Structure 1
């Protein structure tokens, strides 16, 4: 019962983060280690910054119409 509640809580948290556009860092790390073992893994700060720039545009460029 407690494991079901913990799992539901984890999925709910992950869903909320994805709804606002913040992907899961641990998912990224797992993917990089499984799929790209020779490449370096970004720190959490680098990952967060890169995701924010990808979503909202970075370095002063505007990627929206208005």
Structure 2
């Protein structure tokens, strides 16, 4: 059963990456490492910034 659980976790991680579930978490980790002491955007601000950037340059979208 351990192997099945490991495969399920890998599929979950892959699916979450495709859907953007971990983008904000990766942003926070990166920001803390590269800009310690600076304020971090809230998750809402982060997604708004990403949405606005895509609207400004629609060529960055995949579809």
Verify same fold: TM over 0.5: yes
TM-score when normalising by structure 2: 0.69
2:17 corresponds to which residue?
Answer: 14
1:33 is matched with which residue?
32
Unmatched 5+ stretches in structure 1 = 58-62
**CA-atom RMSD in angstroms:** 2.2
TM-score, normalised via structure 1 length: 0.67
Q: Tell me, which stretches of 5 or more residues in structure 2 are unaligned?
A: 59-63
Moved over 3 A (4+): none
Which structure's residues are more often helix, by fraction? Answer: 2
The structure whose RCO (Cα within 8 Å, separation 6+) is larger is 1
